[in-house]
Structure 1
Amino acid sequence: MRLQSIDALRGVAILGILFMNIYFHGSIITGYGELTPKPFTDTIIEALNSVFIDGRFRTLFCLLFGAGLAIQHHAYKKKKYSPKAFLTIRMNWLMLFGLVHGIFIFGGDILLLYSVCALSILNSLNLPLKKLRRKAYLFLSIGAALALAITLVLVFFLDEQTMLRASTEYNELYQLWFSGYFNQLWIQGGIAISIVLTSPLFIYWQVTGLMMLGAFLYRIGFFKRGFTQSQLFIISLAALSLICIDFIILLNSPALTDETSSILASTSAIFVALIYAHIVIKLSHHKNKIIAVLSNVGKVAFSLYILQSIAMAMLLRFWHQGFHLSAQRVDYVLIACGFTLIQILIAHYYLQYFKQGPLEYLWRNACQHSLYKRMYKNKNAHH
């Protein structure tokens, strides 16, 4: 039985991810080039991003990915199938989807990384609750320590500078990126694969820790009831404290890039994402109309994630290349808001005729085909 709260949370995560990625969909190698003088609206949006957006929705998606693994693990185990064998097939297919997405559409793909990370923790899904929680906390602690170390190195030793749109470096990268689609393929593929290869330096620990935490939270019934008042108070206090630390570092290092700020915000993102989850879970208890809308989005989240990349690539890389030379952050936010509405409408009308998103359907059938093929081979091997 599907949990509406998990569908709704998946909807929140997939819609929120666009607001994180929008600056890189047009040009992944430049991101948002800062304007001089800096518009006041840019400052406001950066502050709002730091509190509500940076890393928050990616973190939420990781937690839900882990919860999904736990749900499937339990279902396969109940049917007396091998959960590891089934989940390995699913993750191998997701890896292929991620490679195609990362190379041909958007180099900031997360599917490839998530599938690799998930494969590495399948055995952990069998752990008793206390051991699973302890391992999740350990991995998250390692990820937080590495994030802080990377931020401090960049702030105090490498003197990383925000890329100005009027700079020679920005113009050179802009010309390189828009010199042709085949150049973009090489750049995107290199970035997508390098994210996975370099993940043990930082992001692997956080992603796997979040997946294990998501599995743990599912097993203790969190997605049905949320936190207690005392738990929520402690998590909110931790979130507020970490956000304040982030702001102190940002104010003392105004030249930090979007990428570095995202690394810095990755620890506070864990607690903010948990607060988001708690709010949505509580709203789902009252059959809120907003929850119903978000649940529809969550049911086709995989398809919408890829659609985001395709639509933004067409708009910002092929139809309107000059947009990046003059656009302010508010312009990107308005595009994200507009496409958020479009995604909500697509999900609503699509699910009136179909039960699954097109890519969800393709993924499920590819997995079933691989499974039947494996079972047929095993059967013949025994004869």
Structure 2
Amino acid sequence: MTHAPIAAARRIGAIDALRGLALFGVLAINLESEFRVSIFRQFQTVTPDPGWNGVVNTALMLFVEMKAFALFSFLFGVGLAIQFDRLATSPRRTILLVRRLLVLLLFGLIHLVLIWNGDILTEYALAGFVALPFLFAPSWIVAVAATIALAFYVLQPMLPSAISFPSDYAIYTLVQSANQIYPTGSFLDVLRHRVQELPAILTLHYFVFSRTIGLFLVGILCWRADLFGATAQRHRTLILIVGVAAIAFGLALAPRPHDDPGLGSPIVLAAGYAALVIAAEQTAMGARWLRWAEPVGRMAFTNYIMQSVVLGFIFYGYGFGLFGRLGSVAGLCLVLIIYVAQIVISRLWLARFTHGPIEWLWRALMYGRAPTFRKAGSHPVTARP
């Protein structure tokens, strides 16, 4: 049997909408705490920004930081489960899934080294290899493994670790070096410094790796439970109630925005956000209101990479060199401009093409043949209102 990427008509709106909304949160946090200033500044004790800059920073830390990444991890697990089911009749299923992750790893390493060292794709590819065997396991084993992984993540600060978190002095040195190089350095200067930061950044990935695996497994379980299909339709009121309760509980777990984000609050809040979107997508009005986010989600891979390219040009010395010079309010305005542009571009692109460019390349390398790229009769570039 021939296997190919899923057709647009067969896609699930809730998944694309969730991915598109999560991408906004990823953009906002990446700009706020990893492009605008050093990625390591968040681990320093600093005086809160005054005025509206402080308000915006606090709101992002409370409602968005780590939650968007948790949503992305959950959705990646859902995507793995979808691919696994679609390839159920293929004798090459395991090979294709391994190839899919290897291609993602390649893209992630390129992004990590040449574009931006805050990359999450490399971690997702490696965590995907850990999660892959569980796709063949019964749901109770997946549930036990997810519980263990998430419990380890939450309890990790109290457990002995094989890797030490960077010292206060190391973090101070990294922040000071970033402040000197990123706003004025050439592309090669920035590249050299990004590589020098990698050991410390990989340490950060180590401490969240179990969370990523756990959320992948939760995504697999939710797909098996049909929470994006008939089950969600039958129980949308219950899902809505669970979503509201999860958001309230998640906020209660984190009364102070700058508490350690390594605890459970981001996961609970992300679950609440996901439940609200899934419930909304089960109504005609909710699906219509969320439709604008679906094209962004369908092109999430391309949009994520392009966000890094654009933000690098805005903040680093080989572009406008605004690193360290932009407040949180101005940063949020910039986030809105970039995201709205991605909404428009994604709609226009998908009116003419079947996939985003990087999504198309990912599928071509995975399947070993080029899927259809241009839609039939799509020469006029028009977007459906």
Shorter-chain TM-score tier: 0.7 to 0.9
Cα deviation code 1:277-317 (max 9, x no counterpart): 11211222234333211111111111000010111111221
Structure 1: gaps spanning 5 or more residues: 251-260, 372-383
Q: What is the alpha-carbon distance in structure 2 between the residues aligned to residue 194 and residue 325 of structure 1?
A: 20
Moved more, 60-69 or 21-30: 21-30
Residue correspondence of structure 1 range 45-60 to structure 2 within 5 A:
45-60=56-71
Q: What is the alpha-carbon distance in structure 1 between the residues aligned to residue 170 and residue 197 of structure 2?
A: 20
Whether 1:10 and 2:19 are equivalent positions in the alignment is: yes
Give SS of 1:222's match.
coil
Moved more, 54-63 or 312-321: 312-321
Residue correspondence of structure 1 range 29-178 to structure 2 within 5 A:
38-77=49-88, 79-146=89-156, 172-177=177-182, 178=184
- What letter is aligned with 1:129? S
Give SS of 2:255's match.
helix
Cα deviation code 1:238-270 (max 9, x no counterpart): 5534433433584xxxxxxxxxx5x52552111
TM-score by length of structure 2 reads 0.80
Q: Give the conservation status (yes or no) of the 8 Å contact 1:104–1:189.
A: no
- What letter is aligned with 1:67? V
Change (3 A) 1:368 1:279: same
Q: What is the alpha-carbon distance in structure 2 between the residues aligned to residue 180 and residue 245 of structure 1?
A: 43
Change (3 A) 1:326 1:360: closer
Whether 1:213 and 2:218 are equivalent positions in the alignment is: yes
Select 2:281's aligned residue among 266, 284, 289.
284
Q: What is the alpha-carbon distance in structure 2 between the residues aligned to residue 18 and residue 70 of structure 1?
A: 26
Residue correspondence of structure 1 range 371-382 to structure 2 within 5 A:
none
Change (3 A) 1:314 1:324: closer
Q: What is the alpha-carbon distance in structure 2 between the residues aligned to residue 59 and residue 325 of structure 1?
A: 27
- What letter is aligned with 2:294? S
- What letter is aligned with 1:15? F
Q: What is the alpha-carbon distance in structure 2 between the residues aligned to residue 171 and residue 139 of structure 1?
A: 35
Q: What is the alpha-carbon distance in structure 1 between the residues aligned to residue 171 and residue 251 of structure 2?
A: 21
Cα deviation code 1:219-244 (max 9, x no counterpart): 10112344665666566545534433
Q: Which residue of 2 aligns with 1:179?
A: 185
Tell me how far 1:126 sits from its aligned partner: 1.2
Change (3 A) 1:141 1:30: closer
Q: What is the alpha-carbon distance in structure 2 between the residues aligned to residue 120 and residue 51 of structure 1?
A: 30
Select 1:273's aligned residue among 253, 270, 276.
270
Q: What is the alpha-carbon distance in structure 1 between the residues aligned to residue 298 and residue 242 of structure 2?
A: 31
Tell me how far 1:74 sits from its aligned partner: 1.0
Q: What is the alpha-carbon distance in structure 2 between the residues aligned to residue 183 and residue 98 of structure 1?
A: 21
Change (3 A) 1:174 1:211: same
- RMSD of Structure 2 on Structure 1 (CA): 3.3
Q: Which residue of 1 aligns with 2:320?
A: 320
Percentage of pairs with the same residue: 24
Change (3 A) 1:356 1:236: same
Please identify which structure carries the higher helix content: 1
Q: Which residue of 2 aligns with 1:299?
A: 298
Q: Give the conservation status (yes or no) of the 8 Å contact 1:113–1:196.
A: no
Q: Give the conservation status (yes or no) of the 8 Å contact 2:245–2:272.
A: no
Q: Give the conservation status (yes or no) of the 8 Å contact 2:243–2:276.
A: no
- What letter is aligned with 2:97? L
Tell me how far 1:146 sits from its aligned partner: 1.4
How many corresponding residue pairs? 349
Q: What is the alpha-carbon distance in structure 2 between the residues aligned to residue 265 and residue 228 of structure 1?
A: 30
Q: What is the alpha-carbon distance in structure 2 between the residues aligned to residue 238 and residue 29 of structure 1?
A: 29
Change (3 A) 1:31 1:247: same
Change (3 A) 1:188 1:27: farther
Q: Give the conservation status (yes or no) of the 8 Å contact 1:132–1:212.
A: yes
Tell me how far 1:75 sits from its aligned partner: 1.2
Whether 1:203 and 2:208 are equivalent positions in the alignment is: yes
Q: What is the alpha-carbon distance in structure 1 between the residues aligned to residue 336 and residue 365 of structure 2?
A: 33
Q: What is the alpha-carbon distance in structure 2 between the residues aligned to residue 279 and residue 241 of structure 1?
A: 14
Structure 2: gaps spanning 5 or more residues: 1-9, 371-385
Tell me how far 1:188 sits from its aligned partner: 2.4
Q: What is the alpha-carbon distance in structure 1 between the residues aligned to residue 144 and residue 239 of structure 2?
A: 18
Change (3 A) 1:129 1:171: closer
Residue correspondence of structure 1 range 245-256 to structure 2 within 5 A:
245-248=253-256, 250=258
Q: Which residue of 1 aligns with 2:333?
A: 334
- What letter is aligned with 2:25? G
Tell me how far 1:66 sits from its aligned partner: 0.2
Q: What is the alpha-carbon distance in structure 2 between the residues aligned to residue 36 and residue 209 of structure 1?
A: 34
Q: Give the conservation status (yes or no) of the 8 Å contact 1:112–1:196.
A: no
Q: Give the conservation status (yes or no) of the 8 Å contact 2:143–2:221.
A: yes
